[in-house]
């Protein structure tokens, strides 16, 4: 006699729970994404796979941008770059941190390129994983400093002026300096005034790299690269070997712009 009543009670409870769930669905995680912003990375100096010119160095970098109130904020790091006589290159990538602040920089990537094997290892110490990519630069190519010519820019967008600064020296190496000033006309980039950028660098023909480089651009700010602790001795061969405890992901058969 009591079973029908119990059955009705169970059905009533289920119906009430369903109705309550429909009226008050489970709360979903809140997502809040702000508008605007930009993501930019800083391009460093170019290291070609040049043979017969080994070196080890520390590259100091600073990246300053405007605060909008007349001041600036600056990020900085230092990283090691090594090349052997065969043109193999080992270079570290360290995180940019506020200059003069308490944050400590750390290495987040190191890279090993071999122009003879056409391989490029891109390795992350945090995960101990290396991606194996194709490397397309060769020791047979001719590498020259990126020097523009003075004169009007294409389509009348502006003008470039190149100045030869003559010979100098840095870290015991002879260098040749150049300064380029590029002016973009009003309206080309949405600018209401002429947009002026400058680039000055001191190039070592023997090593095939810039030992000092300064870029001042309205879009990206001011970037300064300075070579320190330069040695032209042959580096240790072990630097160009992937550590034994790293996992390698082979992407050699995939399309990439490996450099």
The C-alpha atoms of residue 115 and residue 259 are separated, in whole angstroms, by 10
* pLDDT tens per residue, range 35-71: 655 555 667 899 999 999 999 999 999 999 999 888 9
Query: What is the extent of the structural domain holding 141?
Result: 55-250
43 within a domain of the structure (yes/no): no
Q: Residue 9 is encoded by which pair of tokens?
A: 């009670």
Residue 15 lies in a domain: no
Looking at residue 35, its pLDDT comes to 67
The total domain count for the chain is 1
- What would the two tokens of residue 154 be? 């294409």
Helix, strand, coil percentages for the chain (3-state, nearest 5): 10, 45, 45
Q: What's the burial of 115, exposed, middle or buried (CB within 10 Å: 0-12/13-18/19+)?
A: buried
Give me the pLDDT at residue 15, please.
Answer: 46
CA nearest neighbour of 142 among 83, 208, 89: 208
Q: Is the residue at 172 inside a domain?
A: yes
So what's the pLDDT on residue 54? 98
In a domain, 38, yes or no: no
pLDDT tens figures, 121-146: 999 999 999 999 999 999 999 999 98
Identify whether 155 is part of a domain: yes
Burial classification of residue 90, based on how many CB atoms lie within 10 Å of its CB (0-12 exposed, 13-18 middle, 19 or more buried): buried
Q: Does residue 138 form part of some domain?
A: yes
The whole-angstrom separation of Cα 61 and Cα 214 is 10
Say if CB 45 and CB 213 are below 8 A apart: yes
Determine the Cα–Cα distance for residues 115 and 14; give it in Å rounded to an integer.
71
Does 257 reside within a domain? no
The CATH number for 167's domain is 2.50.20
Whether 6 is covered by a domain: the verdict is no
| pLDDT tens, position by position, 210-237 | 999 999 999 889 999 999 999 999 999 9
């Amino acid at each position: 006699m009591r079973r029908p009543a119990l059955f009705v009670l169970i059905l009533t409870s289920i119906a009430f729970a369903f109705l309550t769930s429909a009226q008050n669905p489970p709360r979903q995680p809140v997502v809040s994404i702000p508008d605007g912003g930009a993501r930019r990375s800083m391009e460093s100096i170019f290291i070609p796979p040049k043979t017969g010119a080994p070196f080890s160095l520390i590259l100091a970098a600073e990246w300053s941008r405007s605060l909008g109130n007349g001041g600036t904020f600056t990020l900085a790091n230092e990283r090691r770059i090594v090349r052997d006589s065969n043109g193999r290159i080992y270079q570290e990538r360290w995180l940019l941190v506020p200059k003069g602040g308490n944050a400590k920089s750390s290495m987040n990537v190191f890279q090993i390129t071999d122009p003879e094997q056409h391989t490029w290892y891109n390795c992350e110490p945090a995960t101990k994983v290396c991606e194996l990519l194709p490397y397309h630069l060769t020791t047979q190519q001719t590498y020259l400093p990126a020097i523009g010519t003075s004169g009007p820019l294409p389509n009348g967008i502006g003008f470039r002026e190149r100045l030869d600064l003559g010979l100098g020296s840095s870290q015991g190496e002879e260098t040749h300096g150049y300064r380029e000033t590029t002016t973009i006309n009003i309206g080309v980039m949405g600018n209401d005034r002429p947009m002026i950028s400058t680039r000055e660098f001191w190039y070592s023909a023997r090593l095939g790299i810039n030992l000092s480089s300064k870029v001042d651009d309205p879009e990206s700010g001011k970037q300064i690269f300075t070579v320190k602790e330069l040695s032209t001795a042959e580096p240790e061969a072990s630097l160009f070997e992937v550590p034994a405890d790293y996992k390698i992901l082979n992407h050699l058969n995939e399309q990439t712009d490996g450099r």
